[in-house]
């Protein structure tokens, strides 16, 4: 059973309290962008076997959106962090590096 700590209300939330919101840190491309950028923004996904950053919502709790760093191959959770950021914070990245040296995800690492 997946448990994620909500970085807002602090609750260690059970999966039944949460809604998955897909890949994190997508950069929005709109009018004026190239076809390629718009296509990738809408459809193309990282979908890695390994380290992944995701959006989650504490929907049956405080209702806030937040981020989680997980491993899709082991289901290990590296940590959660707030939504007001365009990339994973350093402490989360360090926590991942400690366990998965040499990990990569898009251009984040």
Partner 1 sequence: MKRYSAFAIAREALRNHTGWERAWRSPAPKRHYDVIIVGAGGHGLATAYYLGKNFGITNVAILEKGWLGGGNTGRNTTIIRSNYLQDPSAAIYEKARSLYETLSQDLNYNLMFSPRGVIMLAQTQHEVRGYQRTAHANALQGVATEFITPRRVKELVPIINLSGPRYPVLGGLWQERGGTARHDAVAWGYARACSDMGMDIIQKCEVTGVRTEGGKITGVETGKGPIDCQKLGVVVAGHSGVLADMAGFRLPIESVALQALVSEPIKPCMDVVVMANTVHGYMSQSDKGEMVIGGGTDGSNNYTQRGSFHHIEETVRALIETFPMVSRLKMLRQWGGIVDITGDRSPILSKTPVEGMFINCGWGTGGFKAIPGSGWGMAELMAKGHSPLTQAFGLERFREGRFIDESVAAGVAH
Which parts of this chain interact with partner 1 (CB under 8 A)?
A: 1-2, 15-16, 19-20, 22-23, 35, 39-40, 42-49, 52, 54, 70, 72-75
Footprint of Zn ion on 33-92 (CB under 5 A): 58, 61-62
What is d(CA 105, CA 108) in angstroms, rounded to the nearest whole number?
Answer: 6
Q: Are 78 and 92 in contact (CB under 8 A)?
A: yes
The dihedral sign for the CA sequence 74, 78, 82, 83: negative
Q: How far is the CB of 72 from partner 1 (least distance, A)?
A: 5
- Applying CB under 5 A, the residues found at the interface with Zn ion are 6, 8-9, 58, 61-62
């Amino acid at each position: 059973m997946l448990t994620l700590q909500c970085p807002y209300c602090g609750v260690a939330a059970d999966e039944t309290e949460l809604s998955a919101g897909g890949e994190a840190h997508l950069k929005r491309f709109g009018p004026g962008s190239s076809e390629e950028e718009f296509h990738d923004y809408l459809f193309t996904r990282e979908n890695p076997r390994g380290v992944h950053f995701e959006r989650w919502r504490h929907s049956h709790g405080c209702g806030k959106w937040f981020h989680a760093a997980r491993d899709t191959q082991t289901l290990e959770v590296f940590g959660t962090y707030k939504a007001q950021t365009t990339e994973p914070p350093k402490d989360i990245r360090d926590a991942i590096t400690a366990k998965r040296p040499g990990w990569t995800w898009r251009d984040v690492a």
